[in-house]
Amino acid sequence: MRTPILLVGLLALAPAARLAAQTDYYLRAGATGWGTLVHDFIAADVDTKASIGPLVAVGLGHSIAPRYRAGVELTLSSSALRTEYGSVTTDLGSARTGSALAFLDGGVSGGLRWQAGLGFLHYFAGAAGGLLEESATRLLVGGGLDYRRPLLAAWDLTVAARYDFHRFNTPALKAHGFSGGQGVQRVSLAIGLARGHR
């Protein structure tokens, strides 16, 4: 637990260090792929998965040192939920999420930057009787790489590859006797425009 706490502290303190720093912002759209949301066993394996789904992300970054930036990224995503067991696939509606991630990023080389962050992933309430009958909010940890190159006078092309994970559980699962949380890994790829200092 120490490292995430250190990361949070760093992110909280960093913006104050350079109030006069420059700011940039971006908007991206892309797709998210999910690992298994719930692995269960009822006579045989039962896996609940989310399909690859669209995402939009907006972010704001603030320079805090020559090589480092701190910021916040907000994303929305939607994916179809299904459960598979044996040869059966059932439709569980959709998983709609919103996330807020406080991040720190730094230059790698050229237009390439790394990013790491900590925040929250919120599952919006879905269909009655489903896994997501009620909303749920989980701690989210993520990171990735951003590539940026000039496109127009004031706008850059930006491409981001992200990896994040959280531990999934919902009130409906708890009511069924599930405990702990399923480690869920997600990857996403998004493309968009960024504006601000280069």
Partner 1 sequence: MSRRLAAAALALLCAGCSDIGSPSRADIYEWRSAQGGDTLSFHWPQSFLPVRIWAEDQHGLPAYADSSIAAWKPAFLYHEWDAVRVADSSEADVIVRYGSPPAGDDILLERFALDGRAPECQATTLPHVDDAREVHLPMHVYITARFAPDLPATQACLALTLTHEIGHTLGIFAHSSHPEDIMYGDPMVPKPSERDRNTAEVLYHTPANVSPAPRP
Chain positions contacting partner 1, by CB under 8 A: 3-4, 6-7, 35, 38-44, 46, 48, 83, 85-86, 88-92, 116, 129-131, 141, 143, 165, 167-169, 172-173, 176-185
Rounded CA-CA distance 80/130 in Å is 13
Minimum distance between the CB of residue 3 and partner 1, rounded to whole angstroms? Answer: 4
Task: Please identify, using beta-carbon distances, which residue of 55 and 118 lies nearer to partner 1.
Answer: 118
Q: Which two tokens stand for residue 126?
A: 């879905």
Task: Please identify, using beta-carbon distances, which residue of 156 and 170 lies nearer to partner 1.
Answer: 170
Minimum distance between the CB of residue 44 and partner 1, rounded to whole angstroms? Answer: 7
Task: Please identify, using beta-carbon distances, which residue of 91 and 137 lies nearer to partner 1.
Answer: 91
Minimum distance between the CB of residue 149 and partner 1, rounded to whole angstroms? Answer: 24
- 189 Cβ neighbours under 8 A, 6+ residues apart: 30, 31, 159, 160, 161, 162
Bridge partners (DSSP) of residue 149 are 157
Minimum distance between the CB of residue 136 and partner 1, rounded to whole angstroms? Answer: 13
Task: Please identify, using beta-carbon distances, which residue of 16 and 44 lies nearer to partner 1.
Answer: 44
Q: Which residue has the tokens 């230059």?
A: 107
The DSSP bridge pattern shows strands 182-196 and 155-168 to be antiparallel
Q: Which two tokens stand for residue 131?
A: 């896994």
Minimum distance between the CB of residue 193 and partner 1, rounded to whole angstroms? Answer: 27
Helix (H, G, I), strand (E, B) or coil at 174: helix
> How many residues can be counted in the chain?
198
